[in-house]
Amino acid sequence: MGERIERVLVTGAAGVIGRALVPALAERFEVKATDLVGGDGIVVADLRDARAIEGVVAGCDAIVHLGGIANEHRWEEIAAVNIGGTQAVFEAAKKAGARRVIFASSVHAVGMYPRALLGVDVVPRPDTFYGVSKVAGEALGRLYAEKWGLEVACLRIASYQERPRDRRHLSTWLSPGDMVRLVSACLEAPTLSPVAPQGFCVLNAISANTRRWMDDSGWAHVGYTPVDDAEVYATEVAHLHGPEDEISEQVQGGFFAAADYRGLAGDAG
Ligand SMILES: NC(=O)c1ccc[n+]([C@@H]2O[C@H](COP(=O)([O-])OP(=O)(O)OC[C@H]3O[C@@H](n4cnc5c(N)ncnc54)[C@H](O)[C@@H]3O)[C@@H](O)[C@H]2O)c1
């Protein structure tokens, strides 16, 4: 069991999740924020610049790594920012002697699985280059945990939203409040797993959704107890979905799984 975590760096702090998470974590930890774009109290650092990342990581006990491209994009961008940048974060954490990294992985690492209850100990089935980058991030996390003793929690975030907006979200929703509860639990848990390697875990990151397709493996061990359930929005959104015979309605990853989905690469890619 290591020292208590006090100083926490949040990457991607200017993003959708970061903007909500930073003030919530600041109630319990000394929080430092970084992003590619500046803003109130945010230190600018590009994930593609390993030395800059070393600079912001120095002195922190833990890193909540949210920074990156949060959508499908051209391979070059995904590889540089999401894979290269994530390696830079783990490497900087190791060099700085940080204790723990919480990595924002994604359901898109396993997005090609059908819509049936899915655990965390499964072979990756990414639905995009973006999903591949999350598989790589999890593998990097396991490498740094098993080889160099860094503690790493990989959170397979499904759909972080203020509220569910379609039928899929009734299964995949992660509420802002539950995201704070999950990250806080991962920062405060004495160990991340009951079995070796005790300093590593992959967790499905969703709320307590009645219709969930992702299981709760590891939640009790880290002390995550979600309180929100997307079901309260069912009458508003259950009718919002695409044609049942399309892959986007059959697999966990939704429209990311469609053969022609290009995300931010758009037509230009
Ligand atoms: N929102 C979701 O539902 C969801 C689901 C699964 C996984 N995730 C993951 O959670 C994390 C946060 O998601 P979000 O919804 O807040 O995304 P977001 O796009 O709002 O935030 C990502 C942040 O990363 C920053 N960033 C991008 N490139 C960078 C670079 N080169 N250097 C430094 N910073 C850079 C952006 O400026 C942005 O502020 C991402 O890693 C995303 O892949 C999110």
pLDDT digits (tens, 9 = 90+) for 36-65: 999 989 999 999 999 999 999 999 999 999
Domains and CATH numbers, the chain: 7-265 (3.40.50.720)
- Considering the chain, what percentage of its residues have pLDDT values greater than 70? 98
Q: For residue 57, how far is its CA from the centre of ligand 1 (angstroms)?
A: 18
d(CA 103, CA 67): 9
Say what the pLDDT of residue 150 is: 98
Q: Is the pTM of this model over 0.95?
A: yes
Say what the pLDDT of residue 3 is: 80
Cβ-in-10-Å burial (0-12, 13-18, 19+) of 9 comes to buried
Q: For residue 149, how far is its CA from the centre of ligand 1 (angstroms)?
A: 26
Q: Helix, strand, coil: what percent of the chain each, to 5?
A: 40, 15, 45
For residue range 68-118, list pLDDT tens digits in order. 999 999 999 999 999 999 999 999 999 999 999 999 999 999 999 999 999
Q: For residue 45, how far is its CA from the centre of ligand 1 (angstroms)?
A: 14
d(CA 58, CA 55): 6
Ligand 1, atom 11, residue with closest C-alpha: 66
Report DSSP state, residue 144.
H
pLDDT at 269 over 80: no
d(CA 265, CA 73): 5
Say what the pLDDT of residue 157 is: 98
Say what the pLDDT of residue 267 is: 56
Nearest atom, ligand 1, residue 155 CA: 7
Q: How confident is the model at residue 1 (pLDDT cuts 50, 70, 90)?
A: low
Mean predicted lDDT score pLDDT of the chain:
97
Mutate which of 17, 34, 204 for ligand 1? The one with the most ligand atoms within 8 Å of its CB, which is: 17
Cis peptide before 126 (omega within 30 of 0): no
d(CA 110, CA 156): 9
36 in ligand 1 pocket by Cβ < 6 Å?
A: yes
- Region 241-269: what's the mean pLDDT? 91
